[in-house]
Structure 1
Amino acid sequence: MTQRKIEIMDTTLRDGEQTSGVSFSVSEKLTIAKLLLEELKVDRIEIASARVSKGELEAVQKITSWASENNQLEKIEVLTFADSGKSIDWMVASGAKVQNLLTKGSLNHLTHQLKKTPTQHFVDIKSIIELATKNNIKTNVYLEDWSNGMRNSKEYVFEYLDFLTAQNIERILLPDTLGILTPDETFAFILEVRNKYPNTHFDFHGHNDYDLGVANVMEAVKAGANGLHLTINGMGERAGNAPLASVIAVINDFLKEVEVTVNETALNKVSKLVETFSGFRIPVNKPVVGANVFTQTAGIHADGDNKNNLYFNDLMPERFGRKRKYALGKTSGKANIQKNLQDLGISLNDEELKKVTQKIIELGDKKEVVSQDDLPYIISDVLDSDTIEKRVIVENYVLGHAKGMKPSTTLQLILEGFRYEAHAQGDGQFDAFMNALKKLYKTHSKKELPSLIDYAVRIPPGSHSDALCETIITWKREKNEFITRGLDSDQTVSAIKATEKMLNII
């Protein structure tokens, strides 16, 4: 079966930049444009609106200069306006060769915004198309508010399409400007247009106000749309546009009768770069590109994956340049931990695995997720603790720190089976703890506490969680030095745990 080719036009640099608070610099626009065309391999990109600013003109000039040198110029498009030729002059100065002319696709917009009749509007559009042709600029035409036009003034829409299909244009662009369409309407409206004008190229431009952007795009393709307008990470005004990554996955998996040339493996890379440049954060649960979408948290899922990939679907992370992860938290269980140990090349026996699992569950009750980078630290802490006989227990403590007052600690210690308590102040919470400890040992123990000669705090290298920090304390007793480590989500508590280990060693 011959597949029908669908053109993908990315409008992140134009419509996506209308996301509140987003503005790309000249160099950022050029970098994104190169990635979209060279790595993602979209068919076309809409990069700017004419006459916006001096910076916008400079950005378009940079992109068109690069595109011209790399045989990509006809893939570069700019939004223009019915403004008596001013946009065409701007296009000429920018070096761009394809205009996407914004016109009125509903009688409501035409009557109340432009205050013109259809005949007057058509005359304006004809003159701009002719002027563009004279300047070797190709024309695509947007029918702004087309979705409302089809709902409420269909006679006008088809009168306008009759006119446009007789003009020297490349494509007609049909936007759901306000994101109001349902999937059923999208299919019916596109099909009606497609059947009436079988030889015309139609693009569909979907917005996501009702979270139906991807569903509407799917129906537009089924109904015969020739092209789609999408943005990286679903950026765009209000609730944004139909997101590129989700649409590509849907087309590749569910619409086998059509073909797109977008390179799936580059989707995540480009998504992350656009996130960085724009400051527009990707929700962690966003399909395909979200941080959590290839992370299994429940232990039963990891167990099923071990047995026969029972919780896999066609959205394999490798397709998008990603890897499946198994989260470490209170619901993860032994199966998740074993998956992470395999990745790290670590093996534990059943008893050790049980103890590590319990530690992760305890941490999960405090912090939702522990990262794979934290795992070696947890293992070290758990197994190291098992080698020390606990004859001294830090039973309870109260750490106090108030403005204008010295930090203080009240400490309760079990020493050789007896419970003791002391209170002290210090220059910091841990210093106060140590002062209280010294009081207890001076009164109730024949042991002399070693000197603290080094104190270091670190988080696991590469860890993206805030679940753990490790405190490493070097002690000196007579002429010998030794080190103890403590692990906790709280820095002072991790130091206290390291100190408790020291007490049991001495």
Structure 2
Amino acid sequence: MDTTLRDGEQTSGVSFSSSEKLTLAQLLLDELKVDRIEVASARVSDGELLAVQKITEWAAETNNLDRVEVLTFTDGGISLDWMEKAGAKVQNLLTKGSLNHLKYQLKKTPEEHFSDIAAIFSSAKQKGYTNNIYLEDWSNGMRNSKEYVFQFLDFLATQPVKRILLPDTLGILTHTETFSFISEIVKRYPNLHFDFHGHNDYDLGVANVMEAVKAGCHGLHLTVNGMGERAGNAPMASTIAVINDFLPEVTISANETALHKVSKLVSAFTGFRIPANKPIVGDNVFTQTAGIHADGDNKNNLYFNDLLPERFGQKRKYALGKTSGKANIQKNLQDLGLTLNDEDLKKVTQKVIALGDKKERVTKEDLPYIISDVLDSQEYLNKVMVKSYVLTHSKGLKPSTTIAIEIDGEVHEANAQGDGQFDAFINAIKKVYRIKKMSFPNLIDYAVRIPPGSNSDALCETSITWEKNAKEFTTRGLDSDQTVSAIKATEKMLNII
């Protein structure tokens, strides 16, 4: 059962709109193919009622109504009236699974609590609803008041209940406890259906889920991206991968290839970014960074494991940066349909490493610009070097530039203003060239490009077309800063002339 839309919405700062809930409900059932979804808590708000009404209307039309569940409360039947308005047919009744919670929160005896539950179940049965029941704080109940838990389960064995839901409400269980507690319960009540609802406070959510399945539980409650209160719930993607790879005797319906899509959509709706290193759905989990790993993949896939990215709607990538080797770059060039000879590949690798030292990441889409820059740089001798510069841009003041430029071993300094930082830079260069009585070409075209789909830290290629003595030529500069890339293109021009 996916409970992203109910328990996952208890993530601090997260609230789905009614249209978002409907979209995710459809995606979870139709594409990810989970068996059931818990979509809301009864009586929360008018918006929650509208969201459930939209979901149940769609579910009724598509024969999915029995797969849509709502959290209800022991409130004398008020939640059941809410369910009726919402069009829902399956209730997950919240009750007390530890004696501590019962005594101090409800201030009732077990017999009084059971009587309230029996009345709600009876009323729900008359309305044609399906009854499931949460034993809140069940894990602490098993640790500290096991007799009460068994008294509760003895009572439930007499009731019209389809599923008994066992939550580790505070995320306190170890994997050994999970196995021990659920094994004991399943053996004692072989005719009852038990779901395990794990939380992730100690980062043991997936381990506990795995042990719950081994112990014989019949259902699991999971959330996309591990959304949920505090540290969240047991995460859907990791759990599906673990079951498929390590528990072959268990068959599940979930569609692995839809995991990445659903994960991204939940991230977009909630505003909670997926950590880059999050297993299965993170951006980095199928990315090789070290050059030795890419080299090993070229040699019989030495760094592959069973978590092949294609299983989850992703693709293996090879990061580019200061730890890149030739193998990383070759892998990316293959994806782009490009080839380089060994000498040029070595130069491009050196350039990528140098860029990696300066900026956080270099992308595959940056490679054509890097290649162009490296190969273009081989066509002239470096007789002119822009040694240093200061670029200023202040509101209400004209941009200005101070430069130090070396020409044939002699350093010259100049300062100038302009309509922009690059214009001020050109004006400062022109001052030096006038003093040296050297001619300066005309700038006739200026174009800036970044790789498609890149972010604000992308490498930027500036191509400038110059005209001198009735001849045109173009130089290119590459940098993560647009003005600096134009300065590099200009420095190439000065060497060419």
TM-score of the two chains, using structure 2 as the length reference: 0.97
* 485-494 or 9-18, larger mean C-alpha shift: 485-494
> What TM-score, normalized to structure 1?
0.96
Among 463, 467, 476, the alignment partner of 1:472 is 463
Q: d(CA) in 2 for partners of 1:11 and 1:269?
A: 17
Check whether the contact 1:371–1:465 (CA below 8 A) recurs between aligned residues: no
SS at match of 1:271: helix
Structure 1 partner of 2:271: 279
CA offsets 1:53-79 (integer angstroms, 9 cap, x no match): 111111111111111111111000000
Cα contact 1:412–1:419 (8 A) shared by 2: yes
Larger deviation, residues 477-486 vs 298-307: 477-486
Q: Distance in 1 between matches of 2:52 and 2:454?
A: 40
Q: 1:403, CA displacement in angstroms? A: 6.0
Match of residue 166 from structure 2: 174
Q: 2-side partners of 1:177 and 1:416: how far apart?
A: 74
Aligned equivalent of 2:237: 245
For 1:195, the equivalent position in structure 2 comes to 187
Partner Cα separation in structure 1 for residue 365 and residue 378 of structure 2: 22
CA contact 1:407–1:432 (8 Å) conserved in 2: yes
SS in 2 for 1:129: helix
Q: 2:81 aligns with which of 89, 110, 129?
A: 89
Q: CA RMSD in A?
A: 1.4
Quote the residue 2:112 is aligned against.
120
Q: C-alpha distance in 2, partners of 1:486/1:321?
A: 36
Using the TM superposition, give the Cα deviation of residue 428 of structure 1 relative to its aligned residue in structure 2, in angstroms: 3.0
Which residue in the other structure is 2:141 paired with? 149
Taking the aligned partners of 1:105 and 1:418, their CA distance within structure 2 comes to: 84
Equivalent residue for 2:363, pick from 347, 366, 371: 371
SS at match of 1:259: coil
Distance 2:342 2:362 in 1: 21
2:252 aligned partner: 260
> Deviation of residue 444 (structure 1)?
1.2
Q: Does 1:98 align with 2:129?
A: no
Distance in structure 2 (CA, Å) of the matches to 1:192 and 1:214: 20
* CA deviations over 1:391-413 (Å, ceiling 9, x no partner): 32222223344566543333222
Which structure 1 residue ranges, 5 or more long, are not aligned?
A: 1-8
Greater mean deviation of Cα atoms: 473-482 or 135-144: 473-482
What is aligned with 1:234? 226
Kindly provide the CA deviation profile for residues 108-134 of structure 1, in whole angstroms up to 9, marking residues without a partner as x: 111111111100000000000000000
Instruction: Find the partner of 2:318 among 312, 316, 326.
Output: 326
Letter in 2 for 1:212: L
> 2:437 and 2:262 mapped to 1: Cα distance?
63
Question: Are the aligned partners of 2:71 and 2:91 in contact in 1 as well (CA < 8 Å)?
Answer: yes
Give the match for residue 298 of structure 2. 306
Distance 1:36 1:304 in 2: 37
1:119-174, CA deviations, whole angstroms, 9 ceiling, x for partnerless residues?
00000000000000000001000000000101111111100010011100100000
Query: Which segment drifts farther, 412-421 or 125-134?
Result: 412-421
- Matched letter for residue 457 of structure 2: D
Mapped to 1, the partners of 2:102 and 2:10 lie a distance apart of 23
Selected match of 1:19 from 5, 8, 11: 11
Aligned to 1:411, the other structure's residue is in SS state: strand
Partner residue, 2:478: 487
1:342-491 aligned within 5 A = 342-401=334-393, 405-446=397-438, 448-464=439-455, 466-491=457-482
Q: Secondary structure at the match of 2:299?
A: helix
> 1:227-265 CA distances to partner (integer Å, 9 max, x unpaired)?
000000000011000000000000000111211110001
Letter in 2 for 1:454: D
The aligned residue for residue 31 of structure 1 is 23
For 2:282, the equivalent position in structure 1 comes to: 290
- Would the aligned equivalents of 2:444 and 2:467 in 1 still touch at CA under 8 Å? yes
The residue matched to 2:54 in structure 1 has which SS? helix
Tell me which amino acid in the other structure corresponds to 2:137. Answer: D
Tell me the equivalent position of 2:68: 76
**Structure 1 partner of 2:217:** 225
